Structure 1
Amino acid sequence: MASDTDPPALTPDELLLWRSLGRLVHALPRALEEDMARTGVTMTEFAVLLLLSEAPDRRMRMSALAAGAGLTPSRITRVVDGLSHHGMVRKERHGNDGRGSDAVLTDTGLRTMASAQATHLASARRRVLDHVPEHLVPDLAQALAGITEALCRP
């Protein structure tokens, strides 16, 4: 028996949205990884390279990079260490306090990101954007950004 504190049942449209999101969060990463396989970088690595390419001096605190990529501190460390192994990123002590580390995009990393960018953009269009009516993109973008922000708040 439902109590007064139970949430209301989902409408048919809400249920379709919820179930579709559940399938999407599993299917989309696999599809994007398949698309990126020929570039030599994973989607996660590409996201890190892209964030660093847009940062001032191509440098970010590891904690800010983790937050920007939606990764845990331990996961960003593993990703950056892997990229460092291939000469795409280097880690340096943070200049102001020396307690944290910065990730710095190298010229090799910038070239790798640039060469993978066309594949990434084609994947974004084919896998997602081509399926969303253009007039819905602004509202959908805002809604997804709001959900992401709420989930990523400490």
Structure 2
Amino acid sequence: MTTRWLSAEEQRAWRSYISATSLLADAIDRRLQAEAGMPHLYYSILSRLSEAPDRRLRMTDLAEALKITRSRLTYAVARLEKDGTVGREGCPTDRRGHMAVLTDEGMALLERVAPAHVETVRTAVFDHLTPEQVGQLEEICGTITRAIQSGDPGTPGEDLPWRRRSCSS
């Protein structure tokens, strides 16, 4: 198989993307640690649950929405359970499944921290983009997401994190 090296333009775009996503992840994590003592993943769990019907989601669906392994989600939810911000209960439609549930304490924490999170995202990303660039960003990221999730030959979609089995699954 012949290696399809990146062109100079592709290499610059790739490195720019890596730099931006690394810096953004760090900025969001630092702000959430300062505001609530939690990493971005924990905030993302609370946020996804707040948007779900009855503030409940199957653990497997939550892992897929967050694009993480089920074992990583299990660990994070266990930590959030200790804090009283998330609970876990059996799934009514699948005896083997579990539901993650956002507690009232978790909702209150999310409501307190969300303004700082949104401000970080706004100042780091959207304040620097035109409306046209926002649309382009959505289109580009959506295209990449769909390509990887498709599982088409040549894409890494067949080994997506939430589909991986672990000892605790």
TM-score (norm 2): 0.81
Q: 1:149 to 1:76 in 2, by over 3 A?
A: farther
The SS at the match of 1:71 is: coil
Alpha-carbon distance between aligned partners in 2 of 1:80 and 1:151, rounded to the nearest angstrom: 26
Report the Cα distance in structure 1 between the residues aligned to 2:111 and 2:6, rounded to whole angstroms.
47
The one-character-per-residue Cα deviations of 1:14-46 (angstroms, maximum 9, x if unpaired) are 222111112223222111111112221321111
Give the corresponding residue for 1:76.
73
For residues 38 and 6 of structure 1, the distance between their equivalents in structure 2, rounded to whole angstroms, comes to 44
Partner of 1:21: 17
Write the distance in 2 (CA, Å) between the matches of 1:88 and 1:9: 45
Q: Secondary structure at the match of 2:95?
A: coil
> CA 1:6/1:113 → structure 2, altered by over 3 Å: closer, same or farther?
same
Long gaps (5+) in structure 1: none
Q: How many residues align?
A: 150
1:145 counterpart letter in structure 2: G
Farther off after superposition, 142-151 or 27-36: 142-151
d(CA) in 1 for partners of 2:87 and 2:3?
Answer: 51
RMSD (Å), alpha carbons: 1.8
1:36 aligns with 2:70: no
Is structure 2 residue 133 aligned with structure 1 residue 136? yes
Q: Output the amino acid matched with 1:138.
A: G
1: CA distance between counterparts of 2:125 and 2:92? 40
Of 123, 126, 147, the residue aligned with 1:126 is 123
* 1:60 CA drift (Å): 0.2
Matched, 1:148 2:149: no
| Displacement after TM superposition at 1:75 (Å) | 0.6
Match of 1:93 in 2: 90
Structure 2 letter corresponding to 1:96: T
Alignment deviations for residues 75-126 of structure 1 (CA, whole Å, 9 cap, x no partner): 1001111110000000111111210110000000001111110011001011
* 1:50 and 2:50 are equivalent in the alignment: no
Pair 1:53–1:6, CA change in 2 (3 A): same
- 1:10 alignment partner AA: S
